Amino acid sequence: MKGVTAPQGFLASTISCGIKRSKRDDLALLYSEVPCLCAATFTTNKMKSGSVVLAETRVKNGISQAVIVNSGNANCCVGKKELRDAEDMTGVAARSMDLDPDHVLIASTGIIGRSLPIKKIKSKIGALVKGLKKANGSKFAKAIMTTDTVPKEVVTEIKIGPTKVKIAGAAKGAGMICPDMATMLAFFTTDAAIEKGALKLAFKEAVADSFNRITIDGDMSTNDSAIIFANGLAGNKTIKKNSAGYFKFIKALKFVATELARKMILDGEGATKFVEIVIKGAKTQKDADIIARHVADSSLIKTMIAGGDPNWGRVAASVGSADVKINKDRVDIYIGNKSAMKNGASTNASLGALKGKEVKITVDLKSGRSSSRIWTCDLTEEYVKINAEYET
């Protein structure tokens, strides 16, 4: 079984209700046969969608059993109707599934500033609930897509004691992907039994290590949501914080999150290359992070990578323009494993064109022990084309 329905007790369903002009499925439901512990992280954008506002409130009680997701409309910047529509949509879904509305979450993604066609949506929720099936995991990953070109889903299995436990995830997000959450939706499911605090902490760490370390264009959306549901149906001995099982769980969860993040980068709008920026030898973690993000968001560097041109001078200029004190005469730059700059001066090495799908740029500040890694993609003419034509 693929996707988010791989762990025991999870079902999914999708349907087209006419939000997307393409008539593709634009409404999706993920459901657990029993109540789940849940944890989540949301966008910090001040213009956040009413769907995010509602989900944030409901996640606080820590128990949930379903999430309804629409694609094609962000339910954002339309005023008080946003929250009303989100309540209405989850309310109808809750009644159809015979659940407490407080146990139904919501996520929306798509165009900002247009009212949700709430009547159309509500009229399809009955059929959506009837369609809940184990086999619909991959359909779920597909229905949440907007400009994505491929669905993104990952499943892994570990053993907690003698018991097999599954962790799965599905995500969408192509443009607008940025550290600290951007138009990215990610849903995780697990049949592990795990303590509430342990789940929360593990999820926070996994997100910090994956989605918060990727950037496509430096923009941040109004709708980002990452949610995990744990229903305990695997019947393992409940995972406690800092136990051996916990470390196994967190490793597996990070694997799923990181793989999804990598898939997002590879599906970045117009992207042709996967780029890893590593900053080493910084005085503080904050310094390393600031420089890594500054370099990763540089249009000049991203276009140079698109062109396969190892113009490392742009990396040096970008490092120097980040708001961090550095000692220029100590800075080393590597393109792949070739040294391009040593102690602030060119090595005059012949670097050759940037071939292959993956490009790694390493900057060693040689001024401390902190480091930071960030993933991004190149900036191509295709990115501009996609985004210039998005709405029309």
Catalog residues that contact a copy of itself under the rule CB under 8 A. 44-48, 74, 76-81, 111-115, 175-176, 178, 217-222, 297-300, 303-304, 306-309, 311-314, 316-321, 325-326, 328, 331, 340-341, 343-346, 353, 379-381, 383-385, 387-392
CA distances from 195 to 41, 169, 297, 324 (A): 18, 20, 38, 40
Q: Select 289 or 297, whichever has its Cβ closest to a copy of itself.
A: 297
Between 138 and 222, whose beta carbon lies closer to a copy of itself? 222
Q: Which is closer to a copy of itself, CB of 250 or CB of 282?
A: 282
Instruction: Note if 109 is an active site residue.
Output: no
Q: How far apart are CA 334 and CA 164, in angstroms?
A: 43
Which residues have a Cβ under 8 Å from the Cβ of 227 and sit 6 or more positions away? 38, 39, 40, 55, 59, 64, 67, 105, 107, 186, 187, 188
- Between 136 and 380, whose beta carbon lies closer to a copy of itself? 380
Q: How far is the CB of 306 from a copy of itself (least distance, A)?
A: 5
Distance CA 392, CA 382 (A): 16
The residue (of 369 and 385) whose beta carbon lies closer to a copy of itself is 385
DSSP annotation of 102:
G
**307 backbone dihedrals φ, ψ, rounded to 5°:** -85, -5
Smallest gap from residue 127 Cβ to a copy of itself (A):
29
Q: How far is the CB of 120 from a copy of itself (least distance, A)?
A: 18
Q: How far is the CB of 173 from a copy of itself (least distance, A)?
A: 13
The residues near 7 (Cβ < 8 Å, ≥ 6 apart) are 165, 166, 167, 168, 189, 190, 191, 192, 231, 233, 234
Distance between CA atoms of 227 and 38, rounded to whole angstroms? 7
Options 147, 183, 376, 380, the catalytic residue: 183
DSSP assignment letter at 21? T
- Spatial contact of 67 and 29, defined as CB atoms under 8 Å apart: yes
Smallest gap, in angstroms, from Cβ of residue 218 to a copy of itself?
A: 7
The set of catalytic residues is: 183
